[in-house]
């Protein structure tokens, strides 16, 4: 059994991160397994070393210990590229030169179900470009998108096991041609996270229920690349007094703030593990 917590060092950790990290840590501890950290630091413009150091200090304050050295996504770029090359050789990804404005303009009206990042489904404009056009524009900024129809046809029916809830059907098609490598980052969350979890040998993914839709896409990437499928647990989200889930801007719920106010880390950890939240906070499924 191996679980993980994967903070993005783009802000301070809050009660929601603490809850997620504790559930993953506790699951491993109870099973006599291991718990590892992965640092999602390939968003170069927003990731900062100070946030990483503060996050590690917050976890230690809660009494969370991790096995081995944290794995940094910034050290795994070659694996992301290798996977993209593999998918490219099989005709499953294509370069997309569209700007946000291009995409908005080609969507005359809001379309279909939103994709996993809450946006509209990509209309597929660049999927139809010929090889000559692609070669001519190769130097322009572009991302790489998965040809969803082709990929999901190859993969067939997909499922995953959700802890305590049984088998779930993965529905990657509703996400359209998702981005696997961004214009500004060598891999998207979907690609990097799926590859890392497999490379690190994660057997159980514990994360917020806001990411359950992403699992459709992750399950497809696993199938395309022959990666194992871990067990999943998508947990309820910590919400503030307004009933909305916490965001990095909610300074009052930041662990640094609670620590500075004299909160006892291990006591808070035990309370969170028992679903007892500080006054004004609650757990909700999205």
- Per CB under 6 A, residues contacting ligand GLU are 6-8, 40, 193, 207, 211
Strand partners, 168: 160
User: Least distance to ligand GLU from the beta carbon of 138, Å?
Assistant: 30
Count Cβ atoms within 10 A of the Cβ of residue 202 and give its class: 0-12 exposed, 13-18 middle, 19 or more buried. Answer: buried
Q: Where does 37-147 have alpha helices with state H?
A: 49-61, 77-89, 100-106, 131-136
Q: Which is nearer to ligand GLU, 211 or 252 (CB)?
A: 211
Q: Is 285 helix (H, G, I), strand (E, B) or coil?
A: coil
Q: Where is 259: in which H helix or E strand? A: helix 255-260
Strand partners, 143: 96
Q: Where are the beta strands (DSSP E) in 182-236?
A: 204-208, 231-235
Q: Which is nearer to ligand GLU, 142 or 218 (CB)?
A: 218
Q: How far is CA 187 from the centre of its chain?
A: 12
User: Least distance to ligand GLU from the beta carbon of 88, Å?
Assistant: 24
User: Least distance to ligand GLU from the beta carbon of 8, Å?
Assistant: 4
Q: Which is nearer to ligand GLU, 36 or 98 (CB)?
A: 36
User: Least distance to ligand GLU from the beta carbon of 207, Å?
Assistant: 4
Q: Which is nearer to ligand GLU, 102 or 210 (CB)?
A: 210
User: Least distance to ligand GLU from the beta carbon of 62, Å?
Assistant: 17
Q: Which is nearer to ligand GLU, 193 or 203 (CB)?
A: 193
Q: Which of 189, 208, 199 is nearest to 228 (CA)?
A: 199
Q: Which residue reads 């379309």 in tokens?
A: 111
Q: Which is nearer to ligand GLU, 7 or 176 (CB)?
A: 7
User: Least distance to ligand GLU from the beta carbon of 283, Å?
Assistant: 17
């Amino acid at each position: 059994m191996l679980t993980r917590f994967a903070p993005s060092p783009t802000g301070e950790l809050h009660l929601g991160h603490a809850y997620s990290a504790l559930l993953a840590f506790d699951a491993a501890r109870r099973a006599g397994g291991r718990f590892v950290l992965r640092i999602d630091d390939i968003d170069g413009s927003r990731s900062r070393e100070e946030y990483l150091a503060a996050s590690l200090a917050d976890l230690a304050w809660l009494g969370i210990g991790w096995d081995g050295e944290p794995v940094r996504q910034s050290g795994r770029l070659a694996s992301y590229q290798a996977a993209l090359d593999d998918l490219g050789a099989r005709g499953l990804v294509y370069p997309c030169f569209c700007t946000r404005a291009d995409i908005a303009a080609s969507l005359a009206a809001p379309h279909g179900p939103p994709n996993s990042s809450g946006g509209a489904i990509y209309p597929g404009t660049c999927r139809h470009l010929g090889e000559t056009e692609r070669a001519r524009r190769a130097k322009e900024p572009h991302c790489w998108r998965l040809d969803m129809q082709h990929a999901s046809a190859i993969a067939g029916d997909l499922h995953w096991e959700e802890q305590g809830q049984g088998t779930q059907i993965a529905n990657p098609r509703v996400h359209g041609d998702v981005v696997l490598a961004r214009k500004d980052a060598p891999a998207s969350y979907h690609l990097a996270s799926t590859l890392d979890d497999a490379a690190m040998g994660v057997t159980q993914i514990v994360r917020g229920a806001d990411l359950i839709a992403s699992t459709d896409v992750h399950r497809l990437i696993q199938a395309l690349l022959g990666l194992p499928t871990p067990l999943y647990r998508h947990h309820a989200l910590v919400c503030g007094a307004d009933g909305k889930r916490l965001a990095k801007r909610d300074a009052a719920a930041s662990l640094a703030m609670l620590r500075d106010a004299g909160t006892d880390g291990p006591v808070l950890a035990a309370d969170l593990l028992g679903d007892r939240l500080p006054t004004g906070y609650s757990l909700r499924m999205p």
